[in-house]
Amino acid sequence: MARLALRVAYDGTDFHGWQRQEPPDQPPLRTVQGCLDRALTDMLQRPATCQGASRTDAGVHAEAQVAAFTAECRVPVDRIAAALNARLDEDVRVMNAWSVPEDFDPVSDALAKGYRYEIAPTRPFSARLPFDRRMVFRTAHDLGVDRMRIAASALVGTHDFTAFAHAQHGRESPVRTVFACEVGSLPDDRIVIDVSGNGFLYNMVRIIAGTLVEVGRGRMEPRAVSGILASRDRAQAGPTLPAQGLRLRWIQYPEDRAEPMHAQEDRT
């Protein structure tokens, strides 16, 4: 039996999130995990289940989700990605596969995760690229990037993030450590919010993004973010922005469990 890890990228638009969902007396919902499990089962010719590092929500994308499975696999490791992609739809791709220790856990072994939320301010009634609707959050409001940067800095550190999470986040503790929260500008007036941390609560990044947009619009002062954190009151934070602007960009693991460096050259 071998323990194998996969780096998976997907356009989350047409998925009900990562985690397999099988409602009683109904057909299974289309999820990334469900599609991968079917592809693995077909490739291995026996039932197989993979475990993902991050339970991305419906509509959220990933450049580098990490999944793992244990099986007797006759396919050479360097051909597993191609074998699975031949069995998957075009909106999910296995970018690489590698061997990991038999006790590898993609969730608990993760040292850090990085998410990006992408925003495109635009004037009302102006034309927009048609594929933006799947990957970028559009707003008709001008945003003050400098104000957003000041507000974002208050989120760095170890805090109780109850105010920045869905009420039913389902975690035993709402305390998380944010290593970095940066607001940057890209060509074509794009604004990106890059957040990294040791873990995230349900909707946490989308609520952070919604709060920073409120600051950028001038509807909230940058210094208010510290007070929102301390309040632990979800009602004081900004809205939960739509899923399409969010993507999982990377996951960091200890060296003996990480994807080999030579296999990461295709990343941008």
Q: Which positions are catalytic?
A: 57
Closest by Cα among 171, 164, 1 to 74: 1
In order of 163, 173, 233, 234, 237, the CA distances from 230 in angstroms are 8, 15, 8, 11, 11
Q: CB-based burial of residue 137 (10 Å sphere; 0-12 exposed, 13-18 middle, 19+ buried)?
A: buried
Give the span between the Cα atoms of 119 and 136, in whole angstroms.
Answer: 6
